[in-house]
Amino acid sequence: MKLGCCYYPEHWPEDMWAGDAARMVNIGLSRVRIGEFAWSRIEPQPGQYDWDWLDRAIATLGDAGLEIILGTPTATPPKWLVDSMPDMVAIDADGNPRGFGSRRHYCFSHAGYRKECERIVTAMVQRYGDHPAITAWQTDNEYGCHDTVVSYSDAAAQGFRRWLAENYPDVDALNSAWGNVFWSMEYPDFEAVDPPNLTVTEPNPAHVLDYRRFASDEVVTFNRLQADIIRAHSPDRDIIHNYMGFFTEFDHHKVGQDLNVASWDSYPLGFLEQFFFSDDEKHRYARQGHPDIAAFHHDLYRGCANGRWSVMEQQPGPVNWARYNPAPLPGMVRLWTLEAMAHGAELVSYFRWRQAPFAQEQMHAGLLRPDNVEDIGASEARQAARDITMLGALENDRSEVALLFSYEAAWLLETQPQGQSFRYLELVFAMYSGLRRLGLNVDIVAPEAELDGYAMVVAPTLPIMLSSLIARLGALQVPVLIGPRSGSKTDDFSIPANLAPGELQDLIPLKITRVESLRPGITAKADSGEISRWLEHVETELTAETGLEDGRGILFASGGLRYLAAWPDAALLEDIFGRMAAEAGLSVDKLPQDLRMRRLGDLCFAFNYGTQTVELPETANRDYILGSSRIAPADVAVWKAG
């Protein structure tokens, strides 16, 4: 695995560049990402390019032996460009423009802006496409950051109408598919359809879901426009985009098809603070991040571009953008780095090289402090570089468990939560975490992914299940868990004619006749665990494998396939996954709360996310390459698999 960093030569005096490059190499970095926010320097005035500084920056970095990932600058169009076509910005759901002054001030559907992107990317790729120091390209930056996927602009409205015309034979088909008769919402023609905002009450969920699908597709084609140009002019260079954490606004699997490498931006402390974790978890893991946050995304994005993936931005210290921004526990930067390795990353690139003293992110740490002194992150990166060398090269292999992940499921469940505590990512994360607490290796994959070779398959929830998936699940000979609400909707966002779980009833003979969403505090005992939030009423002749105290069944099995009809807690998941693993012939151990393990190739890694030393469960005859059986807080142990 390689290490790298994100660097902004345009932010620093040119006389610092060579020293920076030398220090990067000295620390053990071999890659550097540059350029992605530099449009105003590359093209200070319309059509007047200034390549000189970038030529010199690339030369300086390349001469130091660094491989360069060059970013296209389309996330930050300059002021003169926005002023030349003010309608290029996105429009929010209230109808307000999302204007210039920060970043991502563009609408994915604006044809004029796409032309400009085509122009600037072509110019860049033509200039640097075969430069020997350029090893890869990053398209744009963090698509969707700051809630920028969905726009309600005129450009988006027009795009949506085109998209509908491509996806429905005629407007009658659309009216029928959406059930527009419901409240006299029938459209006379595609031109009459508007985006689903500014309605009196909730719009038709089918309308919303199609708008989300459309918006996601706009990201896909926006990215493809750049990927095609790069592929044409910069042969043999990887095309990469940097995804974000806990972000589902567009289909990362589809965008990934146009990439060579999926990468993501890993900020465990910020994500812990900003997302769905409990106050207890936010307290316990304030300086480490929840032990499954980074791994979850590693395993998710490994499934997006044929298994190749990287961490493009790695938190190196406190960040600036969460509600509260503590510092990582000493050791965590190294831990996160080695954990990425254990999950098969090609690269961990720290964001950023040196903390900028100005502008929006001036409180975001770098490897170097603003006064150019090495910060804690740099020393941990240096140590990680030595560790990586010692561990040698590792190859990704198939994990034990496949966990099915669907972006469309996220959109659908946001559109129709039915109970406000039913959150897609939270359910997926709970199941992922349940598997990981048993020490299982997980691949998070698209529902379309090949499932052969996995010892277990888990679908936390898939409201829309294609027939082809059901057929493939039916052919598997391994334990499969299907979570609540799976198969509850048709592709048109309707209830299946035979009710949920729809065609899945071919594999397991049960029917969901009624669902309940439950307010916090309403729970029910289920064996050793508890259910809450969501409960389905099941009509079946099967005997329940697990039931509630009132006799109602919530877990049913047919062959190797189980259907879970409620929202489970950790204890219940442990039971279920333990049973499945036993059937699959996998040996599992319940790990201590703060410990996580991963096997890759012939190495076993263990990571201590706690603030207390952890003794590894069993220690006999281990050949430790790093650490020992007693793992200090924020420390790592690695040994040869026995």
Q: Which segments are annotated as binding site for substrate?
A: 103, 141, 321
CA distance 484 to 496: 15
In the complex, what is the shortest distance from the CB of residue 402 to Zn ion, in angstroms, rounded to a whole number? 29
CA neighbor of 206 nearest in space, from 498, 516, 490: 490
Q: Does 179 bind a copy of itself (CB under 8 A)?
A: yes
Instruction: Name the binding residues.
Output: 103, 107, 141, 321
Evaluate whether 453 touches 441 at the Cβ level (below 8 Å).
Answer: no
Q: Does 322 bind Zn ion (CB under 5 A)?
A: no
Site of tokens 């070779």: 453
> What residues act catalytically?
142, 313
Q: Can you tell me which of 112, 419, 474, 592 binds a copy of itself, judged by CB under 8 A?
A: 419
Judged by CB under 8 A, which stretch of 19-27, 291-299, 486-494, 581-589 contacts a copy of itself?
486-494
**Based on CB atoms, which residue is closest to a copy of itself, 74 or 433?**
74
CA distance 108 to 217: 10
Question: Binding mask 308-337 vs a copy of itself (x if CB under 8 A, - otherwise)?
Answer: ---------xx-x--xxxxx----------
How many residues does the structure list for the chain?
Answer: 642
**Based on CB atoms, which residue is closest to a copy of itself, 350 or 454?**
350
Interacting partner of 142 out of Zn ion, a copy of itself, none (Cβ under 5 to 8 A depending on kind): Zn ion
CA distance 438 to 581: 9
**Based on CB atoms, which residue is closest to Zn ion, 301 or 577?**
301
In the complex, what is the shortest distance from the CB of residue 564 to a copy of itself, in angstroms, rounded to a whole number? 19
Interaction residues for a copy of itself, span 86-105 (CB under 8 A): 90, 94-105
Q: End-to-end CA distance of the chain, in Å?
A: 23
CA neighbor of 144 nearest in space, from 222, 85, 258: 222
The footprint of a copy of itself on this chain (CB under 8 A) covers a number of residues equal to: 109
In the complex, what is the shortest distance from the CB of residue 324 to Zn ion, in angstroms, rounded to a whole number? 18
Interacting partner of 148 out of a copy of itself, Zn ion, none (Cβ under 5 to 8 A depending on kind): a copy of itself
Interaction residues for Zn ion, span 125-164 (CB under 5 A): 142, 145
Alpha carbon distances (Å) from 317 to 119, 354, 363, 374: 37, 11, 10, 12
DSSP sequence for 161-194: HHHHHHHSSSHHHHHHHHTGGGGT---SSGGG--
Judged by CB under 8 A, which stretch of 213-221, 253-261, 413-421, 625-633 contacts a copy of itself?
413-421
Evaluate whether 413 touches 515 at the Cβ level (below 8 Å).
Answer: no
The dihedrals phi and psi of 350, each to the nearest 5 degrees, come to -80, 140
Which burial class, exposed, middle or buried, applies to 272 when counting CB atoms under 10 A from its CB (0-12, 13-18, 19+)? buried
Interacting partner of 475 out of Zn ion, a copy of itself, none (Cβ under 5 to 8 A depending on kind): none
Q: Does 199 bind a copy of itself (CB under 8 A)?
A: yes
**Based on CB atoms, which residue is closest to a copy of itself, 386 or 537?**
537
In the complex, what is the shortest distance from the CB of residue 315 to Zn ion, in angstroms, rounded to a whole number? 12
In the complex, what is the shortest distance from the CB of residue 343 to a copy of itself, in angstroms, rounded to a whole number? 28
- Enumerate the H helices of 326-375 as residue ranges: 332-342
User: Nearest-5° angle of CA 154, CA 159, CA 165?
Assistant: 130
In the complex, what is the shortest distance from the CB of residue 421 to a copy of itself, in angstroms, rounded to a whole number? 7
CA distance 580 to 568: 16
Interacting partner of 38 out of a copy of itself, Zn ion, none (Cβ under 5 to 8 A depending on kind): a copy of itself
Q: Does 207 bind a copy of itself (CB under 8 A)?
A: yes
Evaluate whether 65 touches 132 at the Cβ level (below 8 Å).
Answer: no
Interaction residues for a copy of itself, span 574-613 (CB under 8 A): none
Please give the residue ranges that form the binding site for Zn ion (CB under 5 A).
142, 145
